């Protein structure tokens, strides 16, 4: 009568293959066509899966996207910030690798899609900045900069990370050219010795 400690019960267990196929298809279609144009039926067909199998496990399109994000399936690269001792140089290098992706038309579309998804779904929003490495990597690197005396002790590192990410987003939403140059100028100002 009692379930075992491991949580066993009668009947088959959730198919890892189906889960993986669904998430992979979601990521593929999301990157290929953007958030609008992403449909549950399209995902089901692409994954070779019944619609109900998706609805059984995910309540919404947003939840699907959020899980792809945490699985690292939407932003395959892990943007970590190098540590050479020179804060400005390291941050600029991080920025370069982020922008190298985001400045392609495909990357710009990807970012806008992520923003659209985040605006619509709270769960996606929660994971957005983390997935771009802003929380884990950039803020940490800035904090190290404070320890090294290269940044003011009262600098709000977390907020500066969000400010950089936010600037990228604004530039992207307003379809500015030369995002890279502008961003470099901004971080140079933000990180400049005070």
Partner DNA sequence: TTGAGCATACGCGACGTCTCGTCTAGAGAC
Partner DNA sequence: GTCTCTAGACGAGACGTCGCGTATGCTCAA
Give the number of other Cβ atoms within 10 Å of residue 97's Cβ.
15
Strands (E), 79-136: none
Minimum distance, C-beta of residue 25 to DNA, in the bound complex (Å)? 11
Q: Which member of 40, 144, 163, 180 binds a second copy (CB under 8 A)?
A: 163
144 binds, among a second copy, DNA, none (CB under 5 to 8 A by kind): none
* DSSP per residue, 52-75: HHHHHH-SSHHHHHHHHHHTT-SS
Question: Which CB sits closer to DNA, 17 or 192?
Answer: 17
The CA-based dihedral angle spanning residues 122, 127, 130, 132, taken in that order and rounded to the nearest 10 degrees: -100
Residue showing tokens 């792809």: 68
Find which of DNA, a second copy, none residue 51 binds, CB within 5 to 8 Å per kind.
Answer: DNA
Specify the stretch interacting with a second copy by CB under 8 A; choose among 9-17, 73-81, 83-91, 153-161: 153-161
Tell me the site size for a second copy, rule CB under 8 A.
40
CA dist 99 to 33, 91, 180, Å? Answer: 20, 12, 6
* Coil/strand/helix, residue 12: coil
Interface residues for DNA in 22-61 (CB under 7 A)?
39-42, 44, 48-53, 55-57, 60-61
- Contact residues for a second copy, defined by CB under 8 A: 35-36, 112-113, 115-116, 118-120, 122, 125-126, 128-129, 152, 154-156, 159-160, 162-171, 173-175, 182, 185-186, 189-190, 192, 194
């Amino acid at each position: 009568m009692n379930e075992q400690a491991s949580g066993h019960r009668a009947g088959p267990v959730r198919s890892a293959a189906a889960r993986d196929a669904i998430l992979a298809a979601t990521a593929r279609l999301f990157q290929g066509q953007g958030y609008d144009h992403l449909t549950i039926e399209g995902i089901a067909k692409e994954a070779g899966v019944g619609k109900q199998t998706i609805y059984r496990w995910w309540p919404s399109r947003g939840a699907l996207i959020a899980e792809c994000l945490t699985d690292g399936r939407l932003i395959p690269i892990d943007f970590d910030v190098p540590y050479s001792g020179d804060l400005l140089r390291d941050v600029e290098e991080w920025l370069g690798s982020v922008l190298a992706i985001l400045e392609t038309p495909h990357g710009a579309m990807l970012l806008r899609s992520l923003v659209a998804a985040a605006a619509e779904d709270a769960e996606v929003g929660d994971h957005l900045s983390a997935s771009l490495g802003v929380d884990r990597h950039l803020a940490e690197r800035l904090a190290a900069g404070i320890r090294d005396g290269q940044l003011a002790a009262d600098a709000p590192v977390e907020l500066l990370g969000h400010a950089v990410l936010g600037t990228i987003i604004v530039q992207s939403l307003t379809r500015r050219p030369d995002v890279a140059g502008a961003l470099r100028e901004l971080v140079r100002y933000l990180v400049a010795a005070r």
